[in-house]
Structure 1
Amino acid sequence: MAEIVLSKGVDYTTTPPRSVCSESCSPGTRVARIKGQPICCFDCIACSEGEISNETDSTECTSCPEDFWSNPQRDHCVPKSIEFLSYHEALGISLTTISLLGTFICAIVLGIFVYHQETPMVRANNSELSFLLLLSLKLCFMCSLLFIGRPRLWTCQLRHAIFGISFVLCVSCILVKTMVVLAVFKASKPGGADIMKFFGAIQQRGTVMVLTSIQAIICTAWLVSASPTPHKNTQYHSDKVVYECDVGSTVGFAVLLGYIGLLALLSFVLAFMARNLPDNFNEAKLITFSMLIFCAVWIAFIPAYISSPGKYADVVEVFAILASSFGILVALFGPKCYTIILKPERNTKKSIMGRGATMS
């Protein structure tokens, strides 16, 4: 039986005696009856995470709404913290800075090529495709900014579409440049004069546009059938809401990446075949190296992306975009800018053809 404590001077006809078997349970806890004991004997058990009680001697805890979580005292619900790759955190600031730096470098290289477009170094490396390639690289750097900031419907829909089209435009230019390198060498051999009529300026532009249009069709079909949308994910962290873009169709995303990979692999194979051509056609060596970097980055991206939760999946994708873009920019245009700016004596037709003769 519970012990009853009687105090002197208290009128127990109007005031009931107080049980000292158990004290009242404060907010944040619930009453748990003790089996075999009187009803006034109970334990006070703290509410679980995500549950609260805001009354004394509550018999049960109440779950917080989906976007709320219990405070440390478990006596009221507070909004869950929100997580996404923000422009205001160190990681977002770093990626934004690198993206803008890459865009700025592309603009400088484009300016150098435009200013020196009549020189043998620029003309020998298909200046029109080089200009288009630099513009596509600028788009690649800038599209990474769509992955930073709170996901919204328009950013979720545009980020992968612009990313896919920009990279296909970039890789298509490289592929056509590689094909032209092989065609020029074939044309220099006996009986190969007619081959260049299939690789004129119009045919080059047309090939780039057709290859890019295929990616545009893939992106359009993806957006129409299963468009990416913003998604509030509460599975990664119980006390956080992770804002992310649901890709909608995994097949659509896989086809987009697969098409880019197919063009990159084809460019690499053709450039590898042409790597030992004479030096006046040696852009194939640079293309081989740039495509090797590109393929290595995106092969490493797939497992890293799948295993990265929440905002870190966006970080991995942005890093892959920036790394592959810088790889192409430095590998293809670094040696040319070095020659144009620091070694102008080598930027002559005689010098280029002389090195080619030496290599032949």
Structure 2
Amino acid sequence: MGTLVRTVCSLFLLLQVLTEPAENSDFYLAGDYLLGGLFTLHANVKGTVHLNFLQVPKCKEYEMKVLGYNLMQAMRFAVEEINNQSSLLPGVLLGYEMVDVCYTSNNVQPVLYFLAQDYLLPIQEDYSHYVPRVVAVIGPENSESVMTVANFLSLLLLPQITYSAISDQLRDKQRFPALLRTMPSADHHVEAIAQLMLHFGWNWIVVLVSSDDYGRDNGQRLNERLAGRDICIAFQEALPTPQPNQVMTADERERLGAIVDKLQQSTARVVVVFSPDLALHNFFREVLRRNFTGAVWIASESWAIDPVLHNFTELHRTGTFLGVTTKSVPIPGFSEFRVRRWQAGPPPGRSNRGSTCNQECDDCFNTTESFNTILTLSGERVVYSVYAAVYAMAHALHSLLGCGDTGCTKEVVYPWKLLKEVWKVNFTLLGHQIFFDQQGDMPMPLEIIQWQWDLSQSPFQSVASYYPMQRQLKDIHDISWHTPNNTVPMSMCSKQCQSGQRKKPVGVHPCCFECIDCLPGTFLNQAADEYDCQPCPSNKWSHRKDTSCFKRRLAFLEWHEAPTIIVALLAALGFLSTLAILVIFWRHFQTPMVRSAGGPMCFLMLMPLLLAYMVVPVYVGPPTVSTCLCRQTLFPVCFTICISCITVRSFQIVCIFKMASRLPRAYSYWAHYHGPYVSVAFITALKVAIVVGNLLTTSPSPTTRADPDDPQIMILSCNPNFRGGLLFSTGLDLALSVVGFSFAYTGKELPTNYNEAKFITLSMTIYFTSSVSLCTFMSVYSGVLVTIMDLSVTVLNLLAISLGYFGPKCYMILFYPERNTQAYFNTMIQGYTMRKD
């Protein structure tokens, strides 16, 4: 243990010599409570640096970082402003001590120095009452350095507020309980970039990252964020790490040349770059040398407002520069504070005692002065993060010290007590609310800025705002695109498909696809699936390239159509003529003409005929259960009764003249037992059985089906499955018509007044021909045409019976009454008998 203690003590004795602040230095201000500041005044790209054992890197040999010096001045300005106020820390002098952390290893020595007390850090079991050199630390800048410092400070719960590091790892309060920041996390920066690309429809991008943790982590985070956003990365490349002296080696030039060649060959025109600023100098020189233009460069916060890169005025030829950075908050008096030392000249002579390379900045004044215009016009964006961090510590001290209007207690400040108060701060600073969320982040709005090279205005003009609380990009303004006619640049692997076109993937990227029209009967529901067209429901249809389906037009037989009107007129004519025949037959019921036509059986035929004519209207209009039931039951039975009566009547005439004499007994049975009516009843019963069986197997409910000739039409009809039963039912009628025709043909030589063969033959021939034609037509066609054909054939068959069979008899009754006498009929029978003999 003794050896370890001596080693630690020796280390801090060394630190005392190395880090004692120089006199007349901007790095130190004495005070009752000191704040530690870690700023990058000189920057080294994170390459391989060969350090000798225990040798501190000489920061002044690295590249001067203008923004780092500007941020250090912001801390000085904030401390002096607080000291000059009487309300925040009355009677308390706030001091600071700052260190230039130009390289990763430079963070270890300053943080040990800040934790030490009288240059010693004792080894204790309990540091609850230990008082370090500083009460809090502001900084450092990048995430890697912040993690190094936070691992030390968290041991003593010494409050630390970083103003620029955005890594999401820093939100882990288990690892970094004492760390807070005045900058939104990387998650919000990446989200702002993703929403910007979505707003402008860019889905084909290139990502360039630096070869360090910052580039890799943020590149991976952007990949994850874009995975579900329909934005594809054409390729991602890691930029080579330049030498600390920025001299471009042959390998670096070759690598940069290959990356620029790849950019020129790619169709992607949006390039997102996650990299420290120094790693981009050689890259953009190569971009300018190869004359690569027409790109949209999206800068991460690490270089979005870098004045040195902006000073490459030739960059305006390469395209449009956009970046993500913190919201611009002008700080009154800061610009004058920053230049007052320049106006007064360089600082007085430095004392060599205690001055080291991490607390000297010989060229800072002159270098920063040359960028003063850009720094002033840029709106002091990140400066506000440092300014707010200092004020947050001051408000925490105000609460911890119990400050009133006249003074504070000036008690000993233990780090863990101050940390509790820092978490509680909530105040307004220059119009913005300062507080920390559960992850220790201050939800400060971000801005999308555009680089401008007209120094009469801000070099970093705000074009949109992103609000972390709502996670939403808003207030998007017009952007001056470096394109002809100021049109928004296109960066898409494939042009957006037109409405009603599905995407057919091409290659491995979902953003690369072909556009295929959705066929008729299908539609594209983009919310559900952009790659497949969905079929329309059975009652709907769509045209080619439709995004929704429309209801198919229902087709059925309507009254205003010409065929319907013609058939209706014929049916009305048939009904009236049949009604007239019924009246005529009723009035001449006892005459020989009516008795020869069948007598009472004539009325058995005429009544179903009238009923059948009355069923004709059920064929017109939208089918219902009742109308379909009438079509499938009432009309077939009525028609069968008529056909069976005609068949029995033709058989009866043949029996009277040809079979009665030859088979007298059979004829006596036929006449005695009312053979005609029994036959009609039997046939009718058979027909009823067929119809009932058909109803039991097939529902009479109407159905819809697509018209094969026009899919936009849905045919509304009675159940098409009834067709099989209809054919079977029609077969009975056809058989009866053939039998009736045969008997009629057999009796063609009967007496004239009894010879009905030619009328029955005509009726049966019409019925047989029309029925066979209808069955054939129904087997080939479907739709409304079948309905009108069915109705036409029905009316034609009814007319054939009513006019073809009964018409001639009415004609004889009305116009040849002399032939409607018993004497005339007896004369005709005698003449027939004499000829047969």
| TM-score, length of structure 2 as denominator length | 0.39
CA distance in 2 between counterparts of 1:225 and 1:289 reads 35
Equivalences for residues 56-135 of structure 1 within 5 A: 58-71=530-543, 74-135=546-607
DSSP-derived class of the 2:714 partner: strand
User: In the superposition, relative to structure 1, how do residues 6 and 81 fare at CA in structure 2: closer, same or farther (>3 Å)?
Assistant: same
CA offset at residue 340 of structure 1?
Answer: 1.6
2:698 corresponds to 1:226: yes
Name the SS for the 2:718 alignment partner: strand
Aligned-residue offset at 1:107: 0.6
Q: Please say which of residues 56-65 and 40-49 is displaced more in the overlay.
A: 56-65
Aligned equivalents of 2:621 and 2:601: distance in 1? 33
Report the equivalent of 1:346.
819
CA shift in 2, pair 1:30/1:112, >3 Å? same
Distance 1:217 1:51 in 2: 45
Q: After superposition, what is the alpha-carbon deviation per residue over 1:260-294, rounded to whole angstroms, capped at 9, x for unaligned? A: 12222221111211121222321233223322222
Rate the CA distance shift 1:39–1:175 in 2: closer, same or farther, 3 A.
closer
What's the CA shift string for 1:134-188, capped at 9, x where partnerless? 1122233333433332222333333122232112100111122123212322487
Inter-CA distance 282–196: structure 2 relative to 1 (3 Å threshold): farther
Partners of 1:195 and 1:20 in 2: CA distance: 97
Which position in structure 1 is the counterpart of 2:267? 2
Preserved contact between residue 99 and residue 145 of structure 1 (Cα < 8 Å)? no
CA deviations 1:111-138 (Å, max 9, x no partner) are 1111222333223322211122111222
Q: Is the 8 A contact 1:231 1:244 kept in 2?
A: yes
Q: Which amino acid aligns with 1:338?
A: Y
Match of 2:786 in 1: 313
**Hey, what's the Cα distance between the residues in 1 that align with 2:809 and 2:673?**
22
Provide the C-alpha distance between the structure 2 equivalents of 1:127 and 1:278, rounded to a whole number of angstroms.
Answer: 18
**For the residues of structure 2 that align with 1:25 and 1:305, how far apart are their CA atoms?**
45
Equivalence for 1:12: 322
Aligned match for 2:762, one of 270, 289, 305: 289
* CA apart distance, 1:41: 5.9
Q: Which amino acid aligns with 2:522?
A: E
| Aligned pairs (5 A) from 1:235-314 | 236=708, 237-248=710-721, 252-314=725-787
Match of 1:336 in 2: 809
**Partners of 2:553 and 2:712 within 8 A in 1:** yes
Deviation at 1:106, TM superposition (A): 0.7
Q: Would the aligned equivalents of 2:698 and 2:719 in 1 still touch at CA under 8 Å?
A: no
Q: Please name the residue that 1:48 is paired with.
A: 519
| Number of residue-to-residue matches in the alignment | 359
The equivalent of 2:683 in structure 1 is: 211
Q: How much does 1:78 deviate?
A: 1.3
Q: Secondary structure at the match of 1:18?
A: coil
8 Å CA contact 2:518–2:545 kept in 1: the answer is no
Match of 1:173 in 2: 645
Q: 1:28, 1:97 → 2: CA distance? A: 48
Alignment-derived partner of residue 78 in structure 2: none
Would you say the 8 A contact 1:157–1:228 is kept in 2? yes
Aligned partners of 1:143 and 1:159 also within 8 Å? yes
Superposed displacement of residue 212, structure 1? 0.8
Structure 1 residues 150 and 249: alpha-carbon distance in aligned structure 2, compared to 1, 3 A threshold: closer
- Give yes or no for contact 1:181–1:284 (8 Å, CA) kept in 2: no
Equivalence for 2:39? none
| Rounded Cα–Cα distance in structure 1 between residues aligned with 2:490 and 2:268 | 9
Letter in 2 for 1:105: S
Q: For 2:668 and 2:759, how far apart are their aligned partners in 1?
A: 22
CA contact (8 A) 1:228 1:247 kept: no
Letter in 2 for 1:50: G
1:70 corresponds to which letter in structure 2? S
How is 1:128-147 mapped onto 2 (pairs within 5 angstroms)? 128-147=600-619
Give the deviation of 1:21 after TM superposition.
6.6
**Cα RMSD, aligned residues only:** 3.3
Identify which range, 206-215 or 47-56, moves more after superposition: 47-56
Deviations 1:288-310 (A, max 9, x none): 33222222222222212211212
Decide which moves more: 114-123 or 227-236: 227-236
- Contact 1:183/1:199 (<8 A) preserved: no
Question: Hey, what's the Cα distance between the residues in 1 that align with 2:583 and 2:821?
Answer: 20
Q: Distance in 2 between matches of 1:339 and 1:150?
A: 43
- Counterpart for residue 236 of structure 2: none
Query: Displacement, 1:42?
Result: 5.1
Change (3 A) 1:197 1:42: closer
Distance 2:696 2:731 in 1: 19
* Residues 199 and 286 (structure 1), Cα distance of their counterparts in 2 relative to 1, 3 Å cut: farther
**TM-score (norm. length: structure 1):** 0.85
2:623 is paired with a residue of what secondary structure? coil
**Contact 1:187/1:196 (8 A) holds in 2:** no
Provide the secondary structure at the position in 2 that maps to 1:233: strand
Q: How far apart, CA to CA, are the structure 2 residues paired with 1:251 and 1:49?
A: 32
What secondary structure is seen at the aligned counterpart in 1 of 2:711? coil
Q: Give the Cα–Cα distance (whole angstroms) in 2 for the partners of residues 30 and 149 of structure 1.
A: 40
Question: 2:29 — aligned with what?
Answer: none
Higher relative helix content: 1
Alpha-carbon deviation of 1:201?
8.5
**Distance verdict in 2 for CA 1:47–1:310, change over 3 Å:** same
1:170 counterpart SS class: helix
Gap change, CA 1:201 and 1:127, over 3 Å in 2: farther
Assess if the C-alpha contact under 8 Å between 1:271 and 1:287 holds in 2: yes
Q: Is the 8 A contact 1:29 1:45 kept in 2?
A: yes
Segments of 5+ residues of structure 2 without an aligned counterpart are 1-265, 270-293, 297-315, 324-447, 451-487
| Aligned sequence identity (%) | 28
Q: What is the alpha-carbon distance in structure 2 between the residues aligned to residue 97 and residue 331 of structure 1? A: 18
Greater CA drift, 155-164 or 327-336: 155-164
Contact 2:707 2:783 in 1 (8 A): no
